[in-house]
Amino acid sequence: MAIDLPETPIDLLRFLLHPVTADDLNEFHYLLSNRRRRLAIARVSVLVPGKFIDTNTLARWIAGVETGMEPKAVPTGDYQAVYNGLTQTHLPALDDAGVVNYNSDRKRVRRGPAIHAAVVLIIVSTGVLWVLPQRNRDESSG
C-alpha cells in the first residue's frame, strides 16, 4: 500500500475523499508497530531528499539505539541481528508501502513518497500514548 501525498489543493480534496478501508489502516499501523521499522523511518526521514544511507550504517545506528552504545561499539552479534532483520523483513516491507526506497542489490535506503505520512503517524500516535492515563495489564484485560 503506497501513499502518494497530494501536491495541489484539488489533489488534497481527492486524497481526503478517497475511501480508506480498515485493511488499509490495519496494514499501515502494523507496519509502524515494529520498533526497528520506526527507527529506520526516523533515521531515513532526516536524510536530504535523494540521498541514500547504506544498510550497514542504518543497521549499526539502530543497534546502537537498541543497546545504548555508540554504533561502532555494538557487538557483531547485535549488529548482525539488526542487519538481517532489516534486509530480510523490515526494509522490503517499508519499500512495498512506499515509505522508503530500498535498493536490495546495492544495500542502500532513501526516503520514499510516504515517508512524511509515516513520520506524522508515528509522532501523533506517540503523542496520544503519552497523554493517555497509564494502565496496568490487569486493568486493560477486562
Q: What is the pTM of this model?
A: 0.80
Please, where are the H alpha helices in the chain?
9-17, 22-32, 35-45, 55-67, 76-85, 91-96, 115-131, 137-140
pLDDT at 69: 97
142: confidence class by pLDDT, cuts 50, 70, 90: very low
Distance CA 1, CA 38 (A): 17
CATH of 25-129, one of 1.10.10, 2.40.30, 3.40.50, 3.40.720: 1.10.10
pLDDT at 112 over 70: yes
pLDDT at 127: 86
More confident: 101 or 138 = 101
pLDDT at 91: 98
Q: What angle do CA 7, 30, 99 make, to 5 degrees?
A: 35
What is the residue extent of each domain of the chain? 25-129
| Arithmetic mean of pLDDT over the chain | 88
pLDDT tens sequence across 7-27:
677 776 776 777 777 887 888
Q: At what angle do helices 55-67 and 35-45 cross, to 10 degrees?
A: 120
Question: Contact 126/32 with Cβ under 8 angstroms?
Answer: no
Average pLDDT rounded to a whole number, residues 98-120: 94
Distance CA 4, CA 22 (A): 18
pLDDT tens sequence across 37-92:
999 999 999 999 999 999 999 999 999 999 999 999 999 999 999 999 999 999 99
